[in-house]
Amino acid sequence: MENYSRRSRILITGGAGFLGSHLCERLLNDGHDIICLDNFFTGTKDNIAHLLDHPHFELMRHDVTFPLYVEVDEIYNLACPASPIHYQFDPVQTTKTSVHGAINMLGLAKRTRAKIFQASTSEVYGDPEVHPQPESYWGKVNPIGPRSCYDEGKRCAETLFFDYRRQHGLNIKVARIFNTYGPRMHPNDGRVVSNFIVQALRHEPITLYGDGTQTRSFCYVDDLIEGFVRLMNADDGFTGPVNLGNPGEFTMIELAERVKGLTGSRSELIHKPLPTDDPKQRQPDTTLARAQLEWEPAVKLEEGLQPTIVYFERLLKAR
C-alpha cells in the first residue's frame, strides 16, 4: 500500500528550468506529487521530458505574474530568469516576475496554508563591501542600473515574504543562492560556467570580462538542491534568509584554465570590458547553513565540471 501520509502536493514554479527540473526530479524520488509550473521563457520541456510519464508529475504552462488556483501543501517559488542576458531582455517583465510572482504565490500560500520557499539570490548583496557575505549584510546594490530589475526584484520579493509572515503568519523559507552549475544549464544564458565550457568545446576564444581576477564561488546543482530540501524541512521557526553556495572561491582566470584542462581545448583567453555593476567578489559565508541545516557542499569544482562538460558535449553534438 502506498504511504499517503508522507506524500505532499508540491508546486514548483520555474519547474522546467535548470534548478527547477532538478528539484522536480528530487522531490518525485522522495515520493511527492509534483506540479511543475513554467511559462517556458528560459525553461524547456527537454529538461523535464523524462518526468512527463511519471504518475505523480503534472506539467502546467502558466506565468506567475497571473494568479493561480490550485491545492498544494508546499510551494517552491523559483520562477525568474536568472542570467543577465535573459533578465535584461525584458527588464520590466523580470521585475514583475519577482514582485507580482511573489505576491501571487504568497496569496496562494495564504489561502492553502502552504509552506512556501523563495529562491532568492546572492545578487541581493550587490557589489559587496563585506567579504565573504553573511546573511546579516544588507548589500550594496545600484537601484537604477541594468542589473537592478533582477537584484531589486529579488530584494523586494524577500520583503514581501517577511511581511506576509509578520502580517499573516505564513510559514516561509528564503534561500540566497550563489552561483550554481551543472547539467541542464542553458547553453546561451551568458553565465560564466556555460560560456567557458561551450567556448572551450568549440575551441573558440574564452571570453574574460575585465582582467579576469574577479571571483565567484561555484556550487554543483545536486548540493544546492539538497540545501533546498533541508531548508524546507527545517523547523518552522527557521525562516532564513540563508546562504546556499560553495564557499570555494575562484578567479575567472582559474575557472577558464580548469575548463580548458578538462576539455583539452585549444582556446585562447581574450579580455573584454567589465559589464556595468558586475560584482568584483562573490563568496558565501555558509556558517548559518552548517549550523541550522547541517548542510555544506560536498562536490568539488573539478568533480562537478566533468558531468557538466559531458552534458554540453551531448547537447552540441545533438545540435
Which residues are designated catalytic?
A: 150
List all residues 6 or more positions away from 154 whose beta carbon is below 8 Å from its beta carbon: 80, 98, 120, 121, 123, 124
Burial level of 94, CB count in 10 A (0-12/13-18/19+)? Answer: buried
CA–CA dist 184, 187 (Å, integer): 8
List all residues 6 or more positions away from 15 whose beta carbon is below 8 Å from its beta carbon: 21, 23, 24, 34, 35, 36, 37, 38, 43, 48, 59, 78
- Pull the grid cell for residue 227: 540545501
**Residue 6 DSSP code:** G
CB 119, CB 150: distance < 8 Å? no
CB 121, CB 98: distance < 8 Å? no
Beta strands 172-177; 242-244: pairing state: parallel
Of 305, 185, 184, 310, the residue nearest 255 (C-alpha): 305
Distances (CA, A) of 98 to 200, 219, 319: 33, 23, 32
